[in-house]
Structure 1
C-alpha cells in the first residue's frame, strides 16, 4: 500500500480549529494525498494517516516505541496489509543541535537520512520568540528546511516551512525520481518528523 497523488510539491497544512495536531497533505493541484491525525493525551506518540479529511479509510499507523523520546523511534505500519513499512529514528545527541533522523526500511536497514539544513534558524527563532509582539511574526521570516539524503549520497527531497503567522504550512519537493515504496516511506517519515519538530518548537 503506497500513498497516492504524489504530484509535487506537496503541501502539509495544519488545521487551527482543533486542539489536536491534525493536518492535510495535498498535491500541487489541491488533490488529497492524506489526512494526518495525532491522537491526544497519549503517553506514546500515536498517529493515524487517513485517505482524506472525512477519515473514511485508515491507511497507516505510526507509533512510538518508548515513552521517553530522546532516542525514540517510530514504527510505520500499513493498516490494510498489516505490513511493517519501516521506521523513523531520531539521532538523540546529534539532534540537540541539528535535527537529524534516520529512515529505515521494513528490514530495519538504513535507507535515508533527514537533516535540518540550518540549525541557526531554530536558535534565532527561540531568541526572537522571547520578544513581545515581534514573536508573533517569526513564522514569516524564520523558517527551517530539511533535506532527505539517500545512502547513495544523493539529495532526494527537501521540506521547508512556509511563511505563516502560526507556522502551519510546510511544502515538500521531490528533487529526483525514487521508487514508489521508498517514496511513501519518506513522506510518512517526514509527516511524523514535522509533528515532532513542531512540538519541540
Structure 2
C-alpha cells in the first residue's frame, strides 16, 4: 500500500488559484506525500489521490455514495489493487451543530469517530461567509478543528485548519 511510514504532522496546502479543489500533502520534513484533486462538475463527489502533481500515477479514489451531503459516506479504495479500505460516513442530524463522522473499516465496522471541536466556529463562518467581500476572508480567522477518537474514546489525532504564513495558499495540519 502507498503512503506507509508517514512522518506526522502532515501539511495540506490548498491551491486557491485553481477552479477545482486540489491540494498537496507534505510530511513533517517537507517530503512530498501526495497530490489530491477533486473532479469538477460531478453530482457525486469523486476525489483522486495521485503520487505527485504530474498526476502520472493514481493511488486512491474517494467516492461519495450520494450527491446530497447530509448523510453521505465516502468510500476509499486503492487504484492498483481495487482494495476497499472502508468509508467515512457523515452523521446528518448530529452534524447540524457540530460536524460528526464515523470511520468504518472494509467490513463496515466502526473504528474511529471525527467530531468538530467547536460548533460556534461553523456558525460564525456561515454567517460571516455571507457578507460580500468580507466572506472571502473567513479562512484567515475562523479555523475549525476536529478530534479523531477511537471507539474506546481515546483521542488519536487533532485536525486543525491554520494559516501558516502569508505566502502559503491555505493550509491544514493533520
Alpha-carbon offset, residue 132 of structure 1: 5.1
| Higher deviation after alignment, 134-143 or 85-94 | 134-143
Q: Which residue of 2 aligns with 1:168?
A: 170
Q: Which residue of 1 aligns with 2:98?
A: 98
| Alignment: residue pair count | 172
| Structure 1, unpaired ranges of 5+ | 173-201
Give deviations 1:61-117, integer Å, cap 9, x for gaps: 111112222111111111111111110100011111110000000111000000000
Q: Which residue of 2 aligns with 1:8?
A: 8
Any conservation in 2 of the 1:74–1:89 contact (CA below 8 Å)? yes
Give deviations 1:24-81, integer Å, cap 9, x for gaps: 1111111111110100011111110011111121110111112222111111111111
Return the TM-score normalized by structure 1.
0.79
Q: Distance in 2 between matches of 1:167 and 1:110?
A: 34
Any conservation in 2 of the 1:15–1:168 contact (CA below 8 Å)? yes
Task: Give the helix-richer structure, 1 or 2.
Answer: 1
Any conservation in 2 of the 1:5–1:33 contact (CA below 8 Å)? no
| Higher deviation after alignment, 103-112 or 122-131 | 122-131
Any conservation in 2 of the 1:115–1:147 contact (CA below 8 Å)? yes
Instruction: Calculate the aligned-residue CA RMSD, in Å.
Output: 1.9
Judged with a 3 Å threshold, the aligned counterparts in structure 2 of structure 1 residues 167 and 92 are, in CA distance, closer, same or farther, namely farther
| Structure 2, unpaired ranges of 5+ | none
| Higher deviation after alignment, 85-94 or 156-165 | 156-165
Task: Give the strand-richer structure, 1 or 2.
Answer: 2
